[in-house]
Structure 1
């Protein structure tokens, strides 16, 4: 992902194919669709798809985060409005109040770029800090049982990380970058406009890095970052739900020069099961109940998620669809306890009764009609 100082030159909404006023859900839906279509695992050897996937991940990493999206929109709006230079100020002291704009430039620029825009050209300079790793988001599918009991699964990730050849410096091995003489390593420059106030913007020489690479690394061409694929083991907690988004702190892309890694956001898709369903922390299952047991009472055996069956006592006169609760026989909860198993009985009526069964039912009918008369 590019640094915040590069955001103004990129249209992340266009990359994701959404409007600027799209909702968070619309942005997430567009990202998931494009990520699935362009994921390297689905397009082995397709360099164009891999580059597209990187661009999609970068775009979602910004506009998919509420704080970063606000910062990005402000920066894009500012650069778009003042393209070609600032207009004459509507008021003094570095505050512009023309049109629909009403803000203090020193405050806004300082907030966007992390540096100190200042009035009268008196800007603060500070050394550019190593960049934290990007946040990543990916998806995975797990079985119903894995969701209920928890599991550890391998996960393959592809992202931009510090180049292994130059270790993130961007310089060819044997050489080192030099501090940018234009911004003295701050990554920012301050330019005056008519002597009234100053504008702080990314350095035009180093593009915000604070360093100049005279001999670029052949692998990353001087950027300091290159595509990297790795496999990590991720622990899925018991009781995870379909569509749940899990945050794995520090499992995202690696940071530059010892800066902390980003976070990984994992969206879980749970596959269905032929026998079991879920209701909150409990599991549900339906079992057949013979007609005579429904009338006279009896027992049924119900399967459990971990293998052994559980026996349910059915009282006489049990109606079709009645649910019984087997406590502690459900799946593992987040607190380590176990939920219950909800067993629903489905009265089984013989489709082709034998002669003996038919005679017994006819005798039952006669007895019932006799009792009613």
Structure 2
């Protein structure tokens, strides 16, 4: 006696479920127990076959109506092919194409066009920090495969036209049964193009494209950083015989700046100041990345290595509004070339020192004194 599992129960749906719910349930269950994901496990293979049988029945309105009325008996004794459907069992090639095709072919679309799609291109674009701040209209030259002008990209000479491939029927791919599975591969006759050319274009040898130098103008947005990737759709290599073009990817590289280093949207500048300015306070002027002169006020008593942050004076925010900050890193410089008069003044200052002027130095030497007993 053969025990049949209820198709609805097998897919985990209610009897009144609509087609969308049944398809979603099948996709989820089929992916979970697909034999390829479990090393060809016999139990998973059997379960996968049962799922396909259930889905093949419930997705067909007539078969589903017969099953709802008579159960599995509707397909026995010649009803629709004993032990299967329509005498030949489910068409696994169609199931793979409709259910798993989107995972195996991330670009989507027909196999012929994807097989002949043009390659993506990479271009390294070097910018100054000022250009990355403001954005730029960059003109670049690339040498790439472009549609052949004499044959207008179809690969045939003159008025001749490509013929539909008789082997694959224009699909660019053929299927072969290998045991339980159907294997799909590129057509050996047309090599995935879907057409054959009896009289190829002499300029491109039937490929429909030739190597050319092209000039492109690209708008680089403000705020791009080192390593930013800009995709320009359809500006890559031309596809074979009119197939879609690839894409162009620009990778941004920033030249070293004479004053600033960049950390995201923050600009950092090392700012040397004299020890008198550090002691008494004052100000310095630095050039902003936008050309504006920026005054940095130095508070009296600032120490070397301390930083001053100026809000909104940094880089532009990519694809957004506003700006980052500018950070001035103060480096107190000890003079190395003193006149006699300056040495005399500094000597007088040293004679008036009490130790309270530099509390960190006083604390340090106090600890040394304690350590030495």
| TM tier, smaller | 0.5 to 0.7
Q: After the TM superposition, which segments of 4 or more aligned residues of structure 1 sit over 6 Å from their partners? A: none
Q: Is the 8 A contact 1:323 1:343 kept in 2?
A: yes
Query: Alpha-carbon deviation of 1:224?
Result: 1.9
Query: Alpha-carbon deviation of 1:275?
Result: 0.9
> What SS is found at the alignment partner of 1:368?
coil
Partner of 1:202: 186
Q: 1:180 to 1:339 in 2, by over 3 A?
A: same
Alignment of 1:159-178 (within 5 A): 159-178=144-163
Query: Alpha-carbon deviation of 1:241?
Result: 1.8
Partner of 1:37: none
Partner of 1:275: 259
Does residue 337 of structure 2 align to residue 352 of structure 1?
yes
User: 1:364 aligned to 329, 337, 349, which one?
Assistant: 349
Deviations 1:204-246 (A, max 9, x none): 3222222121111101111222223212112222222212222
Structure whose residues are more often helix by fraction: 2
Does residue 140 of structure 2 align to residue 155 of structure 1?
yes
Distance 2:316 2:182 in 1: 61
Partner of 1:106: 93
Alignment of 1:174-189 (within 5 A): 174-189=159-174
> What SS is found at the alignment partner of 1:240?
coil
Q: Is the 8 A contact 2:173 2:187 kept in 1?
A: yes
Query: Alpha-carbon deviation of 1:191?
Result: 4.8
> What SS is found at the alignment partner of 2:288?
coil
Partner of 2:312: 328
Query: Alpha-carbon deviation of 1:306?
Result: 2.7
Query: Alpha-carbon deviation of 1:180?
Result: 2.0
Distance 2:312 2:176 in 1: 70
TM-score of the pair, normalised by structure 2: 0.61
Q: 1:250 to 1:295 in 2, by over 3 A?
A: same
Q: 1:273 to 1:264 in 2, by over 3 A?
A: same
Q: 1:256 to 1:220 in 2, by over 3 A?
A: closer
Structure 2: 5+ residue stretches without partners: 1-44, 50-90, 103-109, 358-373
Query: Alpha-carbon deviation of 1:169?
Result: 1.2
TM-score of the pair, normalised by structure 1: 0.61
Partner of 2:126: 141
Q: Is the 8 A contact 2:155 2:241 kept in 1?
A: no
Distance 2:154 2:208 in 1: 5
Q: 1:257 to 1:295 in 2, by over 3 A?
A: same
Q: Which moved more, 1:131-140 or 1:233-242?
A: 131-140
Query: Alpha-carbon deviation of 1:353?
Result: 0.8
Distance 1:365 1:203 in 2: 92
Q: Is the 8 A contact 1:109 1:200 kept in 2?
A: no
Q: 1:349 to 1:108 in 2, by over 3 A?
A: farther
Higher alpha-carbon Rg? 2
Structure 1: 5+ residue stretches without partners: 1-90, 96-103, 116-125
Alignment of 1:79-118 (within 5 A): 106=93, 110=97
Partner of 2:208: 224
Deviations 1:281-318 (A, max 9, x none): 12111222122121122222222123332222222211
Distance 1:304 1:325 in 2: 13
Distance 1:302 1:332 in 2: 18
Partner of 1:40: none
